[in-house]
């Protein structure tokens, strides 16, 4: 699809570029929708095989942030930036690029707030902060907000509880079997909360230490990475990488519910319809994994921990609304979520 057609198809929005052949800066800031407030979205710093791919990545991710902020009911729009990483970059060049990118971010006067994402670090955010105040995740504010993973995991737990209520009409998790794919930062905390509430755990990871810890602390059963899909479980919680719901994995799933933290869980949109056809209830990823965003927004707005906790608990009600509407409209949950946001923002 032509680039402008792609932008129109995604309901854009503004797409800004900044280049400097002297430093090698090639940056894109995509501001998808500012109806609800200034855009929040991280900065990717990766090598790309083409500029076209980088621009499309920024656009797609910015749109994702609009939808996530809106369904989480936080006063922010969606934006994202991509800085194309030069090949064979020196440390000095990286500093120059981040400084210039900081000036670029500042030029939006607060309409875009940047943060860490794939390929950027806290040190990069510190450099950006020398040129703009519209940056999160610097070494100073990382310390204030802390690791978002426990809050994200808490949100996923509320999402699992909503799915269990909807599917089984149960308020407790005792004895339910949950297969957790990836027990890293979020997956470990999720496993802990589930264990505390009496769920039985089946876990997998490629990191043996992470697995042993779950076996020791939560009596989790361990399976090989490829065996997690066919594990006998009520709930499958993808907490590792994207695209884990695909043709191959769906055919193996034994669960009634898919609810986890990973971003972009569906390899393609049609896999949402496939889950529905198999009567598997899917908690859309960008609804259930919004705890980290809530924590960041709370810090930004000076809200306290009670506000963040209440907002995170709200993931439960949002999902119940989505599950009900999916059944009444006969649509996959992901599609219904998109429609709810589009109605809120007057899109489409």
Stretch that binds ligand NAD, among 31-39, 68-76, 176-184, 339-347 (CB under 6 A): 176-184
Residue with tokens 């921990």: 305
Beta bridge partners, 238, equal 181
Report the nearest approach of ligand NAD to the CB of residue 46 (Å).
Answer: 15
Residue placing its CB nearer to ligand NAD in the complex, 187 or 272: 187
Query: In whole angstroms, how close is the CB of 4 to ligand NAD at the nearest point?
Result: 30
Cβ 293 vs Cβ 263: under 8 Å: no
Of 18, 22, 80, 192, the active-site residue reads 80
227 binding ligand NAD? (CB under 6 A): no
3-state secondary structure the chain: CCHHHHHHHCCCCEEEEEEECCCCEEEEEEEEECCCCCEECCEEEECCCCHHHHHHHHHHHHHHHHHHHHHCCCCCEEEEEEEECCCCCCHHHHHHHHHHHHHHHHCCCCCEEECECCCCCHHHHHHHCCCCCCECCCHHHHHHHCCCHHHHHHHHHHHHHHHHHHHHCCCCCCCCEEEEECCCHHHHHHHHHHHHCCCEEEEECCCHHHHHHHHHHHCCEECCHHHCCCCCCCEEEECCCCCCECHHHHHHCCCCEECCCCCCCECCCHHHHHHHHCCCEECCHHHHCCHHHHHHHHHHHCCCHHHHHHHHHHHHHHHHHHHHHHHHHCCCHHHHHHHHHHHHHCCC
Considering only 15-23, 54-62, 261-269, 314-322, which stretch makes contact with ligand NAD by CB under 6 A? 261-269
CB of 26 to ligand NAD, least distance (A): 25
Using CB under 6 A as the binding rule, whether residue 292 contacts ligand NAD is answered as yes
Residues in binding contact with ligand NAD, number by CB under 6 A: 24
The residue range among 6-14, 21-29, 68-76, 258-266 that interacts with ligand NAD, by the rule CB under 6 A, is 258-266
Q: What residues numbered 182-221 form the site for ligand NAD, per CB under 6 A?
A: 182-187, 204-207, 210
- Count Cβ atoms within 10 A of the Cβ of residue 52 and give its class: 0-12 exposed, 13-18 middle, 19 or more buried: exposed
Contact region for ligand NAD (CB under 6 A) — 44-52, 131-139, 259-267, 271-279?
259-267
Return the structure tokens found at 143.
């310390």
Q: Is 86 in the site for ligand NAD (CB under 6 A)?
A: no
Q: Smallest distance, Å, CB 228 to ligand NAD?
A: 7
By C-beta, is 120 or 261 nearer to ligand NAD?
A: 261
Question: What's the token pair of residue 298?
Answer: 């709370």
Q: With CB under 6 A as the contact rule, which of the stretches 22-30, 181-189, 304-312, 317-325 interacts with ligand NAD?
A: 181-189
Per-residue binding letters, 117-156, with ligand NAD (x by CB under 6 A): -------------------------------xx--x----
Residue of minimal CB distance from ligand NAD?
A: 184
Q: Is 167 a catalytic residue?
A: no
CB of 243 to ligand NAD, least distance (A): 10
Task: Tell me whether residue 66 or residue 149 sits nearer to ligand NAD (CB atom).
Answer: 149
Report the nearest approach of ligand NAD to the CB of residue 126 (Å): 20
User: Considering beta carbons, is residue 138 or 185 the nearer one to ligand NAD?
Assistant: 185
Q: Report, in Å, the least distance between residue 265 CB and ligand NAD.
A: 8
Largest CA distance in the chain: 62
Site residues (CB under 6 A) for ligand NAD? 148-149, 152, 181-187, 204-207, 210, 225, 239-241, 261-263, 289, 292
Indicate which residues carry an active-site annotation: 80
């Amino acid at each position: 699809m032509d680039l402008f057609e792609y932008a129109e198809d995604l309901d854009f929005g503004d797409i800004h570029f900044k280049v400097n052949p002297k430093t090698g800066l090639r940056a894109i800031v995509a501001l998808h929708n500012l109806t609800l407030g200034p855009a929040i979205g991280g900065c990717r710093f990766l090598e790309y095989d083409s500029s076209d791919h980088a621009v499309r990545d920024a656009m797609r991710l910015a749109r994702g942030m609009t939808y996530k902020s809106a369904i989480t009911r936080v006063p922010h729009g969606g934006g994202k930036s991509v800085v194309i990483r030069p090949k064979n970059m020196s440390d000095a060049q990286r500093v120059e690029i981040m400084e210039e990118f900081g000036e670029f971010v500042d030029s939006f006067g607060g309409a875009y707030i940047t943060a860490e994402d794939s390929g950027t670090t806290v040190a990069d955010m510190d450099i950006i902060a020398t040129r703009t105040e519209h940056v999160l995740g610097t070494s100073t504010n990382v310390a204030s907000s802390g690791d978002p993973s426990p809050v994200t995991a808490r949100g996923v737990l509320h999402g699992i509880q909503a799915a269990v209520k909807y599917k089984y009409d149960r308020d407790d998790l005792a004895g339910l079997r949950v297969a957790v794919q990836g027990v890293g930062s979020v997956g470990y905390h999720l496993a802990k909360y589930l264990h505390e509430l009496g769920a039985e755990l089946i876990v997998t990871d490629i990191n043996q230490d992470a697995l042993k810890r779950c076996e020791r602390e939560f009596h989790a059963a361990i399976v090989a990475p490829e065996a997690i899909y066919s594990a006998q479980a009520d709930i499958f919680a993808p907490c590792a990488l994207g695209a884990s719901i695909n043709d191959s994995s769906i055919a193996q799933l034994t669960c009634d519910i898919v609810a986890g933290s990973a971003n972009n869980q569906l390899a393609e949109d049609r896999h949402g319809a496939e889950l529905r056809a198999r009567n598997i209830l899917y908690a859309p990823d960008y609804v259930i994994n919004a705890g980290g965003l809530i924590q960041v927004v709370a810090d930004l707005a000076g809200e306290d921990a009670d506000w963040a906790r209440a907002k995170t608990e709200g993931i439960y009600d949002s999902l119940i609304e989505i599950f009900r509407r999916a059944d009444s409209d006969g649509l996959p949950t992901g599609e219904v979520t998109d429609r709810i946001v589009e109605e809120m923002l007057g899109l489409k």
